[in-house]
Amino acid sequence: MRDPEERSAVLEPWDEANRELAALVGPAHWKNPKPASRYNLVVIGAGTAGLVTAAGAAGLGAKVALVERHLLGGDCLNVGCVPSKALLAASRAAAAVRDAHRFGIHVPEGARVDFPRVMERMRRLRASVAPNDSARRLTELGVDVFFGNARFVDSETVDVDGTRLRFQKAVIATGARAAAPAIPGLDRVPYLTNETLFSLTELPRRFGIVGAGPIGCEMSQAFARFGSKVFLVEAMHGILPREDPDASSIVWKVMEEDGVELLCCGRDLVLEPGESGSVLMELHSHGGTTRVQVDRVLVAVGRAPNLEGLDLDRVGVAATPKGVVVDDHLRTTNPRIYAAGDVCSPYQFTHAADFMARIVIQNALFWGRAKASGLTIPWCTYTDPEIAHVGLYERDARARGWEVQAFTLPLSHVDRAVLEGRAEGLVRVHVRKGTDRIVGATIVAPNAGDMIGELSLAMTHRIGLKGLASAIHPYPTVGEALRKVGDLYNRSRLTPRMKKILTRILAWHRGKRI
Ligand SMILES: Cc1cc2nc3c(=O)[nH]c(=O)nc-3n(C[C@H](O)[C@H](O)[C@H](O)COP(=O)(O)OP(=O)(O)OC[C@H]3O[C@@H](n4cnc5c(N)ncnc54)[C@H](O)[C@@H]3O)c2cc1C
Ligand SMILES: NC(=O)c1ccc[n+]([C@@H]2O[C@H](COP(=O)([O-])OP(=O)(O)OC[C@H]3O[C@@H](n4cnc5c(N)ncnc54)[C@H](O)[C@@H]3O)[C@@H](O)[C@H]2O)c1
């Protein structure tokens, strides 16, 4: 770790686990290597997109330099997927204890969440998965790892704090950070973002969370289950406004039972400093005015691309407030420079960054013509139940002028979900009308993220609903719901006329002498 300022934000508290993490992904005494005379690839940013690009290209024999200004692993490892999912696991354990009575199990009074221990576990596990992204591993893979701020000098040179790296091709993989919205008073109050949230050591008693997207929903539910009184402010109606409304309302109902107070259609939010570090939140929600005092505020209203200081103008790389402009081959407006991951994509997920990196390797180094539009990208918000999606939403399909038909199976029709006491959920698959071709699907289930992979596979390899119906799934599993949706499709093809014909044939069989 080179910059003590940054260490204090992300790596606090400076305990054994965080020291181990820093030693792996931001070693204090790292000595940058002597640059090669020219690199096949200089990769800026060592989040998922940069790591996969660098490691993959080096594995194929390219001479690669990877530049990171903070911690290897980027958001996902340090302040994103990894710490958030560790907290969600703890919150599910808390909910299991709370709900044990529903299964006839008596938990003696006094069970409680030990928040400092929850956070300590998260830090320990985060450090335990860090070796995969470590400076040492990358070096062993043949990548030259440079810590420092990268900026373009010209179309064949990147500067890293005074050291010049010459390249044949470069990749911008600088990711994104929490956007700071124009909320009156935000600049006058202390607030958390995903960069500081995971350094908490004390559970906020009252927690204001702004934005009911994936971050806001996952963290609202987790902190409510830990015992915070959570006020979730969302500008639109409901939660996860991009998702299928039937699906997000199921998740919302469970979050409400967890005690999350949703202030949706939230207008005119104003923040003010309160007593002893607290914050006053005032807003209009559904015709009423709400004024609450909270101990902490988390802002999670989307991401802003990391473009500052790269000197993109010097190399003719166009960018907008949404990020670097790329074509379908992930090439920027400078043909020698590519981009991958959150900095250039509306699909801001680790697995999307990973697959964009694979495209960049092919296209930048090997004259490939792989296209980002060819990717089928599923996603999942890891609330409990999870909500996962792949392909088009019904509104997108209709916007393309496609007629679609929906097949929906409530989880209450799936034995395993019922037996687990987890029947709140659904599987909904949209097909092009008159065919079994899947154009999109949404799942709400305890393990929706695992289940959506099957639909992603089906879409990628053009397996239709008939194909799903013919694949045997073990009984009883929640995954069986996918086969059952296939059955729904098959039954829909049994027209009254066809049924009449079958009935006649069977009647004829009955009357036949053997
Ligand atoms: C709280 C949270 C939870 C998430 N959960 C999930 C999840 O469950 N599943 C999922 O798929 N996605 C999740 N995401 C999204 C996921 O983390 C991102 O999509 C992913 O990290 C993007 O990777 P990236 O490589 O594009 O960018 P990043 O991970 O942001 O990496 C970019 C790197 O570039 C470095 N950098 C920037 N500028 C420079 C410069 N000038 N010089 C040198 N280095 C620079 C940065 O320091 C950073 O390390 C989550 C995100 C958050 C915030
Ligand atoms: N499980 C996952 O895969 C996962 C988890 C967390 C984050 N992520 C990634 O990180 C990205 C960022 O997540 P996010 O939740 O910050 O952003 P988001 O853009 O997905 O959601 C932000 C929410 O905030 C609302 N909002 C915007 N301005 C507001 C305001 N002033 N007041 C109240 N509400 C406001 C929006 O309507 C929206 O619902 C996601 O889009 C996703 O790509 C993924």
Atom of ligand 1 nearest to the CA of 342: 26
The ligand placed nearest to the CA atom of residue 87 is: 1
Asked whether 176 lines ligand 2 (CB < 6 A), one says no
Q: Binding site annotation covers 6?
A: no
Q: Which residue spans of the chain are classified as CATH 3.50.50.60?
A: 4-177+304-374, 186-301
**What would the pLDDT profile of 9-61 be if each residue is shown by its tens digit?**
899 999 999 999 999 999 999 999 999 999 999 999 999 999 999 999 999 99
- Rounded to the nearest 10°, the torsion over CA 393, 302, 312, 60 is -60
* pLDDT tens-place string over residues 232-261: 999 999 999 999 999 999 999 999 999 999
The β-bridge partners of 47 are: none
> 39-44 and 323-324: which strand pairing?
unpaired
Q: State whether residue 199 is helix, strand or coil.
A: coil
Burial pattern 355-391, b for ≥16 Cβ within 10 A else e, equals bbbbbbbbbbbeeeebebeebebbbbbbbbbbbbbbb
The CATH architecture one would assign to domain 186-301 is: 3-Layer(bba) Sandwich (3.50)
Residue with tokens 């499709």: 489
Closest ligand 2 atom to residue 194 Cα is 16
pTM attached to this predicted model: 0.97
- Does ligand 2 come within 6 angstroms of the Cβ of 448? no
Write out the H or E segment, with its range, that includes residue 216: helix 214-226
Give the tens place of pLDDT for each residue, 70-93.
Answer: 999 999 999 999 999 999 999 999
Residue 63 has pLDDT above 50, yes or no: yes
**Is any atom of ligand 2 closer than 6 Å to the C-beta of 208?**
no
Q: Closest Cα to atom 42, ligand 2: which residue?
A: 348
Alpha-carbon distance 68 to 40, whole Å?
Answer: 18
How far is the C-alpha of 295 from the C-alpha of 191, rounded, in Å?
10
Is 210's C-beta closer than 6 angstroms to any atom of ligand 2? yes
Please write down the long-range contacts of 390-393, taking CB distance under 8 Å and 24 or more positions apart.
390/440, 390/441, 390/452, 390/455, 390/456, 390/459, 391/430, 391/438, 391/439, 391/440, 391/441, 391/455, 391/459, 392/430, 392/439, 392/440, 393/242, 393/244, 393/440, 393/442
Closest residue CA from atom 12 of ligand 1 = 349
- Establish whether residue 333 lines the binding site of ligand 1, counting it when its CB lies within 6 angstroms of any ligand atom: no
pLDDT of residue 292: 97
Dihedral angle computed from the Cα positions of residues 415, 417, 423 and 424, in that order, rounded to the nearest 10 degrees: -140
DSSP structural state of residue 85 = H
Distance CA(56)–CA(358), nearest Å, equals 8
Average pLDDT over residues 283-289: 92
In this predicted structure, what is the pLDDT of residue 514? 59
Contact call for residues 95 and 257 (beta carbons, < 8 A): no
**pLDDT for res 102:** 97
Look at residue 263 in the predicted model and tell me its pLDDT.
96
CA distance 220 to 214: 10
Ligand 1 probe mutation, 2, 3, 43, 75, most atoms within 8 A of CB: 75
Does 216 count as an annotated binding residue? yes
Is 213 assigned to a binding site?
A: yes
Question: Within 10 A of 311 (CB to CB), how many other CB atoms are there?
Answer: 16
CB-CB contact of 286 with 265 (8 Å): yes
Taking phi over 0 as left and psi of -120 to 50 as alpha, with beta for the rest, 199 belongs to: alpha
- Best substitution site from 77, 210, 301 to test ligand 2's pocket, by max atoms within 8 Å of Cβ? 301
Six token digits for residue 79: 């302040």
**What average pLDDT is seen over the chain?**
96
The position carrying tokens 């993959």 is 56
What's the CATH architecture for 4-177+304-374?
Answer: 3-Layer(bba) Sandwich (3.50)
Closest to 401 in 3D by CA, of 370, 373, 439, 453: 439
d(CA 186, CA 299): 9
Q: Looking at 85-217, which runs of residues are DSSP E strands?
A: 144-147, 150-154, 157-160, 163-172, 176-178, 206-210
Structure confidence at residue 499 (pLDDT): 87
pLDDT tier at 306 (50, 70, 90 boundaries)?
Answer: very high
Q: What is the 3-state secondary structure (H, E, C) of 299-327?
A: ECCCEEECCCCCCHHHHCCCEECCEECCC
513 alpha carbon to ligand 2 midpoint, in Å? 69
CA of residue 179 to ligand 1 center, whole Å:
13
Residues above pLDDT 90, as percent of the chain:
95
13 cis-preceded (ω within 30 degrees of 0): yes
Q: ipTM score here?
A: 0.98
Mean pLDDT on 199-217? 98
For the CA of 340, the nearest atom of ligand 1: 26
Give me the mean pLDDT over the 444-456 stretch.
98
Closest atom of ligand 1 to 51 CA is 25
Nearest atom, ligand 1, residue 70 CA: 47
Q: Please indicate whether residue 379, judged by its CB atom, sits closer than 6 Å to ligand 2.
A: yes
- Residue 7 is predicted with a pLDDT of 57
Q: Hey, is 428 helix, strand or coil?
A: strand
pLDDT at 173 over 80: yes
pLDDT at residue 512 tops 90: no
Say whether pLDDT at 1 is over 50. Answer: no
Which regions of the chain carry the CATH code 3.30.390.30?
385-492
Task: Report the C-alpha gap between 258 and 387 in whole angstroms.
Answer: 17
Q: Which atom of ligand 1 is nearest to the CA of 350?
A: 11
What is the pLDDT confidence band of residue 287, given thresholds at 50, 70 and 90?
confident
Q: Ligand 2 pocket test: which of 215, 444, 450 has the largest number of ligand atoms within 8 Å of its C-beta?
A: 215
CATH of 385-492, one of 2.60.40.1930, 3.90.550.10, 3.30.390.30, 3.40.50.620: 3.30.390.30
Main-chain phi, psi angles of 369, to 5 degrees: -125, 30
Q: Is 217 annotated as a binding residue?
A: yes
User: What tokens does 338 get?
Assistant: 């590519």
Residue-wise pLDDT tens digits, 309-362: 999 999 999 999 999 999 999 999 999 999 999 999 999 999 999 999 999 999
pLDDT confidence band for 441 (50 / 70 / 90): very high
Closest ligand by atom to 186 CA? 2
Burial 444-473 (b: 16+ CB within 10 A, else e): bbbbbbebbebbbebbeeebbbeebbeeeb
Cα 76 to ligand 1 centre (Å): 5
